[in-house]
Every structure is written in structure tokens, then in C-alpha cells.
Amino acid sequence: MSMLSINPASGQIIQSFPTWQADTIDTVLNQVEAAQVGWAQLNFEQRAGYMRNLAQVFRQRRDDYAGLITEEMGKLLKEARAEIDKCALGCDHFAGHAEAYLAEEVIASDASRSVVVYQPLGTLLCIMPWNFPFWQLIRAAAPAMMAGNTVVLKHASNVPCCALALEEAFAAAGFPENTLRTLMITAAQAETVIADHRITAVTLTGSAAAGRKVAAIAGQHLKKCVLELGGSDPFIVLEDADLEFTVGQAFAARFQNMGQSCIAAKRFILVETIADAFVQQFKTLVSQLRSGDPKEETTTLAPMARPDLRDDLNAQVERSQALGAVLVTGGEYIGTQGAYYAPTILDHVRPGMPAFDEELLGPVAAIVRVKSTEEAIHLANQSQYGLGASVWTRDTAQGEAVARQIQAGCTFVNGIVKSDPRLPFGGVKASGFGRELGYHGIREFVNIKTVWVR
């Protein structure tokens, strides 16, 4: 069996990679497990030196890595560059803050001295998605490795070139050999790796279905896991919002990365007094998107990552229309080459429709009209997902009050949902559990150990 790297803009095969046999997997797991012993013995400043080197590698090779992302998964080149910039930022952040995040804590007790120390678990398996093929790995690996863990990466099967480039970046930064390795394996093989005694913990960014499977296997073997799964983020617009500003932010929140983001705004919950004006202004911005080669600076509408993802999205749009959703614009394929899909707005969406109940991982915005703030909160929470959310209002006190009532791992007031190395990131309900980033995230994959001395 082979992994195919396919350009989603042209449909052409870039490269093919054979998946590994069991003996190769066994050899690499032995090597990474052995490397972890020496890596954990380094002090924070020594590990930070390598992490800062990695940040420099990302900055120096920014255009090369961005071009690879665009070629392999279709992201607009300017967005791919921004992804690499964020990788460098994440590496620098944990290089500079890991020691403080994991500082020993002396706690008064009945002992002469009782102290909490944070020690690495071992080797972490990172199962990562294609939509942010560099950043997703870095946001998991940078804190885990600064804590003294080693990492093996099982990347999405459609971005094998990015997976190998990540391994090469760590090598170029001078990391000790085998502290991070890419496994060229299938999802079925990954299940075996989760169960392997040399893997001490696992983190997954992916679908809810994949999360349930990974959690079941990890639970069977009593291994810690963190799951960052799908989302159907509500974008709540109250009647006093600055409409022009909010519509512009809504446009960015829905259509960046071709809408293929778990934290993209998906359900636009509008108080009805401003709904017509919002939809009209939103449609005007959407109509200005232009498809083309994602490597061209003039292109504003990229292809989706794979044709099957586009087909699934189109089916969700059609099923929602059959249940009464009103098509404002889009809802069709673009051209005959590549995985292009027209930016789409569905109005009068309600619970029971795929556009409300399911994750729309692509350029489709679902408009939900409500009569009041209370109804907006109710419908925002009427979802299996709970990853991110945003509230838009001139009254920031009211915005914060609404934000505290939304069932999500993060809620932004007058801002687009994003991950930030300084802040914890993760979800509730079917959006997963555990946290990445910040000091909360770095403590997920350590042994929080009490040392008690009489």
C-alpha cells in the first residue's frame, strides 16, 4: 500500500510513498524510546537551544515549506506562509516559557518538605490532520518535547511530503537523532502503535469518529490521551454589533483556509433585527472571492484538500436545502480540474439540518436567525460540538456575560477564534478533551509527581 501526495488544484500525483512494514516500525520505536532517555536528561536551557534553532529553520525556509503546504493540500500561499510563521512563534514561546510552566512547587503539608515535580512521560504519538500540516504538529510537539518527551508522528495520509519535511526540519535544527520521527503508516497500523508499550501517551487532532476510536484504544491500555476534534463554532451577532466590522471578521472566520478548520466560524447566529443587513453585506464579500492557482497572489479561493471532502460537503448542502435551508449563493462545483467548490451561504438554517447539526469542513456558511440573545445562547449550545465560539457586540460586558454561558473550550468577544501559544486550547463534548498550549497544555504529558520528605 502507498501514500499518495496529490496536488488538489490540478489532481496530479506529486509523489508516492510505500507504507512501512512492521519491522521498520519496530526499529524506529526502539530508536525513539532509547533517544528519550538522553533527551530527558538535558536541562531546560539545553532543550530550549534546539527549539530556538527550529524556529530559525522555519524562518529561513519559510517559502520552501509554505510552497510545499500549498502544493500538497491546496492552502493559499499567503496563508501557508502565516502557518510557518506561527510554527516559529510556537517554538520560541515554549523555548522561553517551558521552565517556568514546569517549575517545581513546594506545598505545605504534614511533611518536612513536600514538592510537586513535573517529569516527562516518555514517547508521545501525535496523530495529526492535513488542514494545518505544520502547525498542528508543532503545537503538540513543542511543549511535549520541552517537557522531555520524544515524539513520533503519524500524519494524515494525503500530506506525506509535509510529514517528512517536518522530520527533516528537526534534524536541520540539530535535535539529537531520533527525538522526533515520522512514521509512514496507515490508520490501522496506528492503532497497533497506540497499543505498543513504547508509546506512553497519544494526542489526536481529527474527527469525532477518529477520537472515539483512539480514546477507546488508549483507554484499554491505560494511556493518557488528548483529543482535539471537530467543531461547529457559533458566531453570535447581537443587535448592537458594529455590523461593518463584524461582517468583515465573519468573512475571514469562515473562509480562511478554504473553511477547512475545526475552529472556523460555521453557524452564524444572528439576532433577526440585523440579519438581513448582515446577510447582504456578507454575500457581497463572498461574491468577490476568485478561484485559481493557490500559489498565485491574486487567487483568493483555493481548492479543497481532496475531491472526496468536496463531495461530502456538497451532499451536506443539498440535504440541508431539501430540509428547507435557502441557498443564497454558491452550492456548486467550480470547473472540471481540481477540488474547487463555490463559496456558499445557506440561510434559514435550523436544528435538524446537516448545516446545523454536522461540521461543515469547507467554504459553507450557515445562517441561523433568532429573536433574542437568550435564543442565540440556547441554539449555540444546541450542538454536539463545543470547541470555539465568538460573540459580537459593542457592549463588551454583555459579550463576556454571554461568552461565559457558551459551552465551548474558548469563546472570543469581538474576535475570531484562534489558537495562541500563551493560552490553553481544546474543546468539550464531541470536540474532545484535554488542552494544548499554554502552561495547561504542557502539563498534559508529564507525570505530576509528589515528593514527600519527613
Catalytic residue list: 228, 262
Q: What is the DSSP string of 89-112?
A: HHHHHHHHHHHHHT--EE--SSSS
Cell of 381: 449550545
Coil, strand or helix at 199:
coil
Half-sphere exposure of residue 106: CA atoms within 13 angstroms, side-chain side: 4
Q: Which residue has the cell 475571514?
A: 252
Residue 303 makes CB contacts below 8 A (sequence gap 6+) with 8, 9, 74, 258, 291, 294, 338, 339, 340
State the Cα–Cα distance between residues 266 and 340, nearest whole angstrom.
19
Tell me the β-bridge partners of 213: none
Determine how β-strand 385-386 pairs with β-strand 105-106: unpaired
399: nearest Cα among 262, 244, 242:
242
Q: Which letter does DSSP use for residue 327 in this model?
A: E
Element (H, E) at 270: strand 265-271
Cβ atoms of 122 and 33 within 8 Å: the answer is: yes
Q: Are 47 and 149 in contact (CB under 8 A)?
A: no
Contacts of 245 (CB under 8 A, 6+ apart): none
Q: Strands across the sheet with 432-433, in order? A: 180-182, 150-154, 123-127, 201-205, 224-228, 432-433
